[in-house]
């Protein structure tokens, strides 16, 4: 980012202004150092993603966007709103409906040192391009003995939305996290979306960036530090969204919000739940997960994807391998139903985790089949 600023602005007074803006303040507050908790305003996840794209494109001319309807239509979900007018059709490219084609072009551009951001209208459509993502992007650095970097981001909505059926509702977190050479990120809040997308664009390796359609319009508090153009979150680090001492709940993307709501219900029953927002699926912050389990001695994993070979299964194995002797109860795993997503609304609700499922699992882990008030 700094190099791009030097190339664009030279060494005059404007560069000095940019550098002063980019440098973190020397007297940054301790709250900011702990995780940017000094909230100043609220922004939506949509605006957080848009601003991250805008700032990274402004800072680095090698960054460009490609996908269906990202330009003239301003993005299917308006994530790329205003970027075509600002950066022009050479850097915001509308494509035909051919995921295999434009993904392959993006990977080739990354081979040549550009930094493409490829948008899938839904990650279900990434299946059309999976050969380019896995065999071309993910493996090239290893197969070239480190001579080829592939700095590319694949982003778009992932997982269930509402009423869009089995072919548009699948969570691909476990699919892509299975592959060495890929980094897989799943933001929950506006801070996550902004900080992780900036980190993904700057990263030298391919990053799969899994958003959630139902979170785009949600607003979250953010601090001035998060809004600074130099802000980025570290890849591979989870965030403790709520501290607790009785049970650990791990979640990512939309499920973090469900976990927090469940934790609030549990607190009224005398159960203190610690909620971990994974943020990064690969690399997975095993240290943070195990440290929490060693404190609470209980674990509930939460995801909306299929249960078999899922993210929760990997977390369970990590805890069994590293912290088994600390467990005071069997691990509880909550996931989507092991069926293609139903279209009917009543069946769809039964196929994805609900807040009451989390509450029941936490009660079981704490040997509380019923609230304490009900057993008194």
Catalytic residues: 99, 168
In the block, residue with structure tokens 């690399």: 283
The residue ranges of DSSP E strands in the chain, in sequence order, are: 39-44, 63-67, 92-94, 115-119, 153-157, 183-185, 207-211, 219-223, 239-242, 247-251, 273-277, 280-282, 299-302, 332-334
Angle at alpha carbon of residue 65, lines to 64 and 67, rounded to 5°: 150
How far is Cα 253 from Cα 358, in angstroms, rounded to an integer?
15
Is-contact 229 59, C-beta < 8 A? yes
How far is Cα 16 from Cα 176, in angstroms, rounded to an integer?
41
Residue 342 vs residues 43, 350, 376: alpha-carbon distances, Å: 33, 9, 40
Across 46-70, b (16+ Cβ under 10 Å) vs e yields bbbbbbbbbbbbbbbebbbbbbbbb
How far is Cα 210 from Cα 253, in angstroms, rounded to an integer?
8
């Amino acid at each position: 980012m700094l190099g791009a600023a030097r190339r664009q602005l030279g060494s005059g007074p404007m560069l000095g202004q940019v550098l002063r803006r980019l440098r973190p303040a020397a007297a940054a507050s301790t709250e900011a150092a702990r995780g940017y908790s000094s909230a100043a305003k609220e922004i939506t996840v949509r605006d957080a993603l848009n601003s991250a794209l805008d700032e990274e494109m402004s800072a680095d001319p090698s960054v460009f966007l490609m996908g269906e309807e990202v330009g003239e239509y301003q993005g299917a979900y308006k994530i790329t709103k205003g970027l075509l007018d600002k950066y022009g059709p050479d850097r915001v490219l509308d494509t035909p409906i051919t995921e295999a084609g434009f993904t392959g072009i993006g990977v080739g551009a990354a081979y040549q040192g550009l930094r493409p951001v490829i948008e899938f209208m839904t990650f279900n459509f990434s299946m059309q391009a999976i050969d380019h993502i896995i065999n071309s992007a993910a493996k090239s650095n290893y197969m070239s003995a480190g001579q080829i970097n592939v700095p590319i981001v694949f982003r778009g909505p992932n997982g269930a939305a509402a009423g869009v059926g089995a072919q548009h509702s699948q969570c691909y977190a476990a699919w892509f996290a299975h592959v060495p050479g890929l980094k897989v990120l799943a933001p929950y809040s506006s801070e996550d979306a902004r900080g992780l997308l900036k980190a993904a664009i700057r990263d030298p390796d391919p990053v799969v960036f899994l958003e959630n359609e139902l979170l785009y319009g949600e607003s979250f508090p953010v601090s001035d530090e998060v809004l600074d153009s130099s802000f980025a979150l570290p890849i591979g680090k989870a965030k403790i969204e709520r501290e607790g001492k009785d049970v650990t709940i791990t979640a990512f993307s939309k499920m973090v919000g469900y976990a927090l709501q469940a934790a609030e219900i549990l607190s009224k029953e005398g159960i203190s739940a610690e909620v971990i927002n994974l943020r990064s699926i690969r690399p997975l912050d095993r240290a943070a997960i195990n440290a929490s389990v060693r404190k609470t001695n209980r674990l509930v994993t939460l995801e909306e994807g299929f249960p078999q070979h899922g993210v929760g299964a990997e977390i369970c194995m990590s805890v069994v391998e590293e912290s088994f002797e600390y467990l005071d109860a069997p691990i509880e795993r909550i996931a989507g139903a092991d069926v293609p997503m139903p279209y009917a609304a009543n069946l769809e609700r039964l196929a994805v985790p609900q807040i009451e499922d989390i509450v029941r699992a936490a009660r079981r882990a704490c040997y509380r089949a019923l609230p304490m008030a009900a057993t008194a």
